[in-house]
Amino acid sequence: MATLIKDIKLPDNVPSNILFEKHIEFLKEYGQDENNYEYGMMDYLRVSGMYWCLTALEFMNASPSHTIEEVAQYIKQCQDPESGGISACIGHDPHILHTTSAVQILCTYNKLDVIDTEGVVKYIKSLQLPDGSFMGDKWGEVDTRFSFCAVVTLSLLKRMDAIDVHKAVDFVASCKNFDGGFGSRPLSESHAGLMFCCVGFLSITNRLDIVDRDTLAWWLCERQLPSGGLNGRPEKLPDVCYSWWVLSSLTMLGRLHWIDGNALKTYILACQDTETGGFADRPGDVADPYHTVFGLAGLSLLGHKALQKVNPTYCMPQHVIDRLQLKPQILL
């Protein structure tokens, strides 16, 4: 059956390279003014936002606007002493997404000692349900994103023993669909973002044998559109963040070469805002740190020499993963 292809036309003047200085300035200034309306509106995603900005700067070998000590002290204040979980900002309820981002930041800067890491382990353990799945927080939403976050966090802390890994694998395996893809829960539609989470989960748990490698890789490489960009599901527009979700999954599956790398590179470079700096989802849209980190990470996977090498499972600098002596599974 034919599917509708929605795409965009690339602008005429696509930058030929990464606008490093613009992006560094954009990320250093983003969300710095506490009196600004947007600052308050972004409370609910602050710690993950810090992970996007700081990781993007790290990929470009640039230093952040705050000291590492200030960053670490902010995160420390977001840890809930009772549950051990970490929240998006001071005073909010803890959530696994921000707990993972916090641990990723602290590992990158070798600063894990500022938080109660045993509290984090206790929190992640408390979110596992009898069927092996994970809730995002105490309110009970279940999603394969949270299974991924659980194993990212615990593997970075070297405490995978705290959860039932067999049951966790069974749950993720039960989310596999007829098309080789994965969704958020059993019987949920295949989605490239969730495929990254499930493939990443299986890479960390060393269970990539569970995937139907070529069926899955075929679904993923079909996400590339004539513009060179990738979408997250059939019939959707291209979006630069899928350069990460799709490309990292293909890398873990040893099928990166199934994508036209040059065409994708041109699409990603076209998503740069030449005035404000930063990357947007599509050329001409408003740039933000989320699409900036995943645009840069995609270019790093494509082998851009001026960027630090990114690890496809953790979306962190490879040198950090090496320092921690982690060896997530990659199919060759």
Binding residue for Zn ion (CB under 5 A) from 137, 273, 281, 288?
Answer: 281
Token pair of 306 as six digits: 């001026």
- Kindly state the smallest distance separating residue 60's Cβ from ligand FPP, in Å: 17
- Contact between 271 and Zn ion by CB under 5 A: the answer reads no
Look-up: residue for tokens 């994508």?
259
Q: Look at residue 197 and give the partner it binds from ligand FPP, Zn ion, none, a contact being a CB closer than 5 to 8 Å depending on partner kind.
A: ligand FPP
Q: Of 25 and 111, which has the nearer Cβ to ligand FPP?
A: 111
- Kindly state the smallest distance separating residue 241's Cβ from Zn ion, in Å: 3
Binding residue for ligand FPP (CB under 6 A) from 10, 194, 199, 264?
Answer: 194
Q: Look at residue 143 and give the partner it binds from Zn ion, ligand FPP, none, a contact being a CB closer than 5 to 8 Å depending on partner kind.
A: none
Q: Half-sphere exposure of 303 toward its Cβ, with a 13 Å CA cutoff?
A: 5
Cα–Cα distance, 237 to 296 (Å, whole number): 20
Q: Look at residue 281 and give the partner it binds from Zn ion, ligand FPP, none, a contact being a CB closer than 5 to 8 Å depending on partner kind.
A: Zn ion
Binding residue for ligand FPP (CB under 6 A) from 23, 95, 145, 282?
Answer: 145
Q: Of 52 and 134, which has the nearer Cβ to Zn ion?
A: 52
Q: What 3-state class would DSSP assign to 129?
A: coil
Cα–Cα distance, 307 to 9 (Å, whole number): 27
Q: What 3-state class would DSSP assign to 286?
A: coil
Q: Which residues contact 2 (CB under 8 A, 6 or more apart)?
A: none
Nearest to 204 by CA among 316, 306, 75, 67: 316
List the beta bridge partners of residue 86. 79
- Contact between 288 and Zn ion by CB under 5 A: the answer reads no
- Contact between 230 and ligand FPP by CB under 6 A: the answer reads no
Residues 151-180 close enough to bind ligand FPP by CB under 6 A: 152
**66 burial level (CB within 10 Å; 0-12, 13-18, 19+):** middle
Cα–Cα distance, 143 to 125 (Å, whole number): 16
Give the number of residues in contact with ligand FPP, rule: CB under 6 A. Answer: 11
Residues 235-254 close enough to bind Zn ion by CB under 5 A: 239, 241
Window contacting ligand FPP (CB under 6 A); options: 76-84, 106-114, 193-201, 302-310: 193-201
Q: What 3-state class would DSSP assign to 323?
A: helix
Interface characters, 238-277, with ligand FPP (x: CB under 6 A): -x-----x--------------------------------
Cα–Cα distance, 186 to 60 (Å, whole number): 38
Nearest to 161 by CA among 121, 221, 196: 121
Q: What 3-state class would DSSP assign to 176?
A: strand
Binding residue for ligand FPP (CB under 6 A) from 193, 238, 289, 295?
Answer: 193
Interface characters, 297-326, with ligand FPP (x: CB under 6 A): ------------------x-----------
- Contact between 199 and Zn ion by CB under 5 A: the answer reads no
Cα–Cα distance, 225 to 238 (Å, whole number): 7
Strands (E), the chain: 310-311, 316-317
Q: Half-sphere exposure of 215 toward its Cβ, with a 13 Å CA cutoff?
A: 11
Q: Look at residue 24 and give the partner it binds from Zn ion, ligand FPP, none, a contact being a CB closer than 5 to 8 Å depending on partner kind.
A: none
Q: Look at residue 315 and give the partner it binds from ligand FPP, Zn ion, none, a contact being a CB closer than 5 to 8 Å depending on partner kind.
A: ligand FPP
Token pair of 59 as six digits: 């990929």
Binding residue for ligand FPP (CB under 6 A) from 24, 45, 106, 197?
Answer: 197
Which residues are near Zn ion by CB under 5 A? Answer: 239, 241, 281
